[in-house]
Amino acid sequence: MITIKKFYATWCGPCKMLAPVMEQIRTEYSQVDMLAIDVDENYDVAASYGVKSVPTVVIEKNGVEISRLTGVHSKMVYTNVINENLQK
């Protein structure tokens, strides 16, 4: 199982830009779990993942981190990581 954990903050402009991209991915990949984690409300969780800036997207497969992307990237960057790991 692939899980995407998007670390964001409500005041973060780039996080707002990333939101529609993540929503598209969520609707296109029913086999992927997606969690949105507000770093201000869930500081302990963000700290346990070593998140130092937002947005940060952590992609895990079976509970193991397989990719970490900081900042805003194109949808293709995220889907490439997902597609590569769905096939394994």
Q: What is the pLDDT of residues 7-61, one digit of tens each?
A: 999 999 999 999 999 999 999 999 999 999 999 999 999 999 999 999 999 999 9
The rounded distance, in Å, linking the Cα atoms of 88 and 25 is 19
Which residues are catalytically annotated?
A: 12, 15
Asked if pLDDT for residue 62 goes beyond 90, the answer is yes
The rounded distance, in Å, linking the Cα atoms of 58 and 7 is 8
Quote the distance between the C-alpha of residue 31 and its chain's center: 15
Q: Where are the domains of the chain?
A: 2-86
- CATH class of domain segment(s) 2-86: alpha beta
Indicate the SS3 state at residue 8.
strand
Answer yes or no: are the C-beta atoms of 4 and 58 closer than 8 Å. Answer: yes
Answer yes or no: are the C-beta atoms of 70 and 58 closer than 8 Å. Answer: no
pTM: 0.93
